[in-house]
């Protein structure tokens, strides 16, 4: 299993680092990710979503999960999958994936999933029926649903 640190090291020794890639316009970053490594596959999905091609990013995130099972980037790839699904209007699938990430072991990905749901509720993009389905997906006593209801009612 490859660690995020080893991915960062591998990319840091390449002509461009992760930080430099993420600061480039998405299409330029994608042009530099030609190899088939785990890091490149993940960053390709991320940059594809960033470039506004949600359908392609969704396919790439799903492929990443199949090609690199057990990757330390799996939950991050699931975030890309959820964001892509939600961008394509599939809120049910996006919320389902975000709920799974919240319950997962990657704390940073869980925090990002929570923040995504809060942002979507605040912006009015999260359908009420999706918010109502969340309590069944989350552990008892989870405060996210109350946070979302507050954000939703503020609109």
pLDDT at 46: 87
Distance of CA 123 to the CA centre of its chain: 18
CB neighbours of residue 62 within 10 Å: 16
For residue 1, the model assigns a pLDDT of: 42
Tokens coding 154: 């503020």
pLDDT one-digit tens code per residue, 104-153 = 888 998 999 999 988 888 888 888 888 888 888 888 888 887 887 777 67
CA–CA separation, 56 and 54 (whole Å):
5
Do 76 and 42 form a contact (C-beta atoms < 8 A)?
yes
Helix (H, G, I), strand (E, B) or coil at 96: helix
pLDDT in tens, 3-28: 444 444 444 444 455 566 566 676 66
pLDDT digits (tens, 9 = 90+) for 16-67: 555 665 666 766 665 665 666 788 888 889 889 988 999 999 999 999 999 9
Question: Taking Cα atoms as reference points, which of 134, 72, 36 lies closest to residue 148?
Answer: 134
């Amino acid at each position: 299993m490859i660690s995020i640190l080893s991915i960062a090291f591998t990319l840091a020794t390449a002509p461009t680092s992760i930080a430099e890639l993420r600061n480039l316009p998405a299409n330029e970053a994608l042009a530099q990710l030609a190899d088939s490594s785990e890091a490149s596959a993940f960053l390709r999905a991320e940059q594809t979503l960033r470039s506004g091609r949600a359908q392609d990013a969704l396919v790439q995130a799903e492929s990443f999960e199949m090609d690199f099972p057990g990757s330390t980037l799996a939950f991050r790839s699931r975030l890309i999958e959820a964001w892509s699904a939600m961008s394509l209007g599939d809120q049910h699938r996006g919320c389902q994936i975000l709920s799974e990430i919240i319950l997962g072991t990657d704390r940073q990905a869980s925090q990002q999933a929570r923040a995504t749901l809060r942002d979507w509720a605040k912006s009015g993009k999260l359908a009420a029926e999706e918010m109502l389905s969340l309590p069944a997906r989350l552990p008892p006593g989870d405060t996210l649903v109350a946070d979302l209801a507050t954000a939703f009612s503020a609109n």
